[in-house]
Amino acid sequence: MADTFDEQCDYLFKAVLVGDSGVGKSNLLSRFAKDEFLLDSKPTIGVEFAYRNIRVKDKLIKAQIWDTAGQERFRAITSSYYRGALGAILVYDITRKSTFGNVKKWLHELREFGGEDMVVVLVGNKSDLVQSREVEKEEAKGLAETERLCFMETSAMQNLNVEQAFLQMITKIHDITSQKMLEAKKENGTTLRISGRKEIHVTDEVTATKQASCCSR
């Protein structure tokens, strides 16, 4: 139905990237955003983000993915980074055990500032570095199951599973949000949508109410 992908988006979703410094967050994002990459640097608030338009079923979704500008190094990510985010990609490095050890810390932060019901995909990045692996896939899978997260190993370098990780998150957000939309519509017609040509109007910060079911396979 939509003739111009850019201007006909039905929803805007915010999602965040978290994880220790050096795990590959920025590279994953630039892989995912590819040629549609649009990096808005916001040095004053220490945040960068990229957009990508994705079609999910009959809807066009504009995913706005936030990346830190390195503040994770100083443990200085502010709560505004998480505010309104419906999803998160929580990244660790399969070659550095300590980054996996910190996953719980990040999860805690996500749940504290982003809400219990955020869709979280746990991502073990640098799967290309087989020789230096320090975190077994099964171990991470186990954690994902316990914490009810989606899980995937990726390589930003070789472009393995990157698309899938983001798409899984976005599809899941879409499922939850459409459910929420239906409920909201019944009440007062509140929607989170992009209207007009250039401007983005976030008329409400939609927060999913349903706990995402686990989708690790």
The footprint of ligand GDP (CB under 6 A) covers: 21-27, 125-126, 128-129, 155-157
For ligand GDP, the closer of residues 157 and 167 by Cβ is 157
* Interface of this chain with Mg ion, residues 94 to 133, rule: CB under 5 A: none
* Residue that is written with structure tokens 């994902």 in the block: 144
Residue among 95, 5, 81, 87 at smallest CA distance from 49 = 81
Q: How many residues bind Mg ion (CB under 5 A)?
A: 2
In whole angstroms, what is the distance from residue 23 CA to residue 19 CA? 7
In whole angstroms, what is the distance from residue 17 CA to residue 29 CA? 8
Name which of Mg ion, ligand GDP, none residue 6 binds, using a CB cut-off of 5 to 8 Å depending on partner kind: none
Measured from the CB of residue 173, what is the shortest distance to Mg ion in angstroms? 22
For Mg ion, the closer of residues 25 and 52 by Cβ is 25
* Interface of this chain with Mg ion, residues 16 to 45, rule: CB under 5 A: 25-26
For ligand GDP, the closer of residues 22 and 115 by Cβ is 22
Tokens read off for 212: 């995402």
119 to 149, 188, 204: CA distances (angstroms): 8, 25, 18
In whole angstroms, what is the distance from residue 126 CA to residue 139 CA? 16
Give phi and psi for 155, each to the nearest 5.
Answer: -135, 110
* SS3 sequence of 113-138: HHCCCCEEEEEEECCCCHHHCCCCHH
Name which of ligand GDP, Mg ion, none residue 178 binds, using a CB cut-off of 5 to 8 Å depending on partner kind: none
For Mg ion, the closer of residues 68 and 168 by Cβ is 68
In whole angstroms, what is the distance from residue 83 CA to residue 14 CA? 9
Name which of Mg ion, ligand GDP, none residue 129 binds, using a CB cut-off of 5 to 8 Å depending on partner kind: ligand GDP
For Mg ion, the closer of residues 77 and 107 by Cβ is 77
Name which of ligand GDP, Mg ion, none residue 52 binds, using a CB cut-off of 5 to 8 Å depending on partner kind: none
Residue nearest to ligand GDP (CB): 24
**Residues of this chain that bind Mg ion (CB under 5 A):** 25-26
